[in-house]
Amino acid sequence: MPRTDSAPRTATLAEILNDRHATPGPRPPLGARAKYALVIRRFEFLPGYVPQAVVPGLLGAASWGQLGSLNAVLAMLWSISGLQVANMANALADREQDRRLKSRQSRAVYGLGVTRVVLHTAVSTLVYAAVAAFLAIRTHHWDLLGYAAAFLFIGFAYSLPPLHLKSRGIWHLLSLQTGCMLLPGIAILRAYDHATPWAHVWTLTGFAMVVTSLFVTSHCEDYVVDGQFGTRTYVRALGLAGALYLQSAMLFLGSLLLLGAIWAIDGPTWGFVPYAVAWLPSQRLLFAAVRVVHRVPLDEAMDYFHRKSLHGPYHSALMSWATVALAALVLTGR
């Protein structure tokens, strides 16, 4: 029996992919269009995206030469392109909500034009699919196509109806861990011709927990606005304190899983030292956020998260690069 809400969701999707209120006007200069194209792809996230691709590349390689192979380089670039496709879908879906807190995103969507953003997304998706098919053919690892499809599905379902995972409570957080981190990471492991080190899926699971625990801190600043728009993020579902307690646990337990898996698979390494140095201030950041939520009224807490909105992503990038150093030393010792 068909769902009774299918028609409204179809209408919502049509509204996202079209701009009924668009009026003809002069096309922005080339420089402005190039800037808008970078904004909708969230190029400011590259310092975090690059290590997210490099870590599984290092863990999957048997030598430094393999890390520089065509398969490895293509797989790492491919994973970043998949994240950017998801970002463009999110920019389209959230363009009205972004007028409140992320007006730069909304201006970029309307500056390019909704139709052109849809075209950017479609072309990037075709390139993404072509690279995935190319890697599957080269390696004969046909399951790569399944990982690629699941990665893309979650990327779109995160922002778009009917699933709109961003508004599904705890599924919001799980979709970020699997869609942004784990699936592309496993796909990169599979992009090598040699036997896949499947045990490092545990390492990647810990890595996903660590990176996500810090990156999603930026969702706390949207707590009030998300409530106004009816977006049930994991922060809305758990409350500010509950979400931050969960993130603190994810950072601690994810680090234990990551370090324990590497110790069990490759043995101890000096890479544990820079990782610990990066972990300490990151864990303190989450503890400090928990204290703020418990001690001040909601409006003051929102002001705190607005001021600190980039601190979580910055610490996420810090932990990501510390994991790159760790994985690099592991590869050097092989």
Q: Tell me: the pLDDT tens digits for 136-157?
A: 999 999 999 999 999 999 999 9
CB 197 within 8 A of CB 265: yes
CB 286 within 8 A of CB 248: yes
Token pair for residue 266?
Answer: 């490759």
Whether the per-residue pLDDT at 28 is higher than 60: the answer is: yes
What is the average per-residue pLDDT within 60-86? 96
Q: Within 13 A of 199's CA, how many CA atoms are on the CB side? A: 8
pLDDT band at residue 21 using 50, 70 and 90 as cut-offs? low
What is the average per-residue pLDDT within 87-108? 82
Token pair for residue 180?
Answer: 């942004």
Token pair for residue 305?
Answer: 């998260």
Q: In this predicted structure, what is the pLDDT of residue 22?
A: 62
pLDDT band at residue 30 using 50, 70 and 90 as cut-offs? confident
Token pair for residue 18?
Answer: 């079209």
Stated pTM of the model? 0.89
- C-alpha to C-alpha distances, 102 to 177, 217, 277, nearest whole angstrom: 23, 15, 32
The span from the CA of 121 to the CA of 99, in Å, is: 21
Between these two residues, 27 and 65, which has the higher pLDDT value?
Answer: 65
CA neighbor of 112 nearest in space, from 95, 127, 129, 128: 95
The span from the CA of 256 to the CA of 250, in Å, is: 10
Residue 24 one-letter amino acid: P
CB 94 within 8 A of CB 105: yes
- C-alpha to C-alpha distances, 101 to 112, 225, 261, 313, nearest whole angstrom: 19, 9, 39, 16
CB 292 within 8 A of CB 304: yes
Three-state SS annotation for the chain: CCCCCHHHHHHHHHHHHCCCCCCCCCCCCHHHHHHHHHHHCCHHHHHHHHHHHHHHHHHHCCCHHHHCCHHHHHHHHHHHHHHHHHHHHHHHHCCCCHHHHCHHHHHHHHHHCHHHHHHHHHHHHHHHHHHHHHHHHHHCCCHHHHHHHHHHHHHHHCCCCCCCHHHCCHHHHHHHHHHHHHHHHHHHHHCCCCCCCCCHHHHHHHHHHHHHHHHHHHHHHHHHHHHHCCCCCHHHHHHHHHHHHHHHHHHHHHHHHHHHHHHHHHCCCCCHHHHHHHHHHHHHHHHHHHHHHHHCCHHHHHHHHHHCCCHHHHHHHHHHHHHHHHHHHHHHCC
CA neighbor of 79 nearest in space, from 55, 52, 58: 52
pLDDT band at residue 268 using 50, 70 and 90 as cut-offs? very high
Domain boundaries, the chain: 29-332
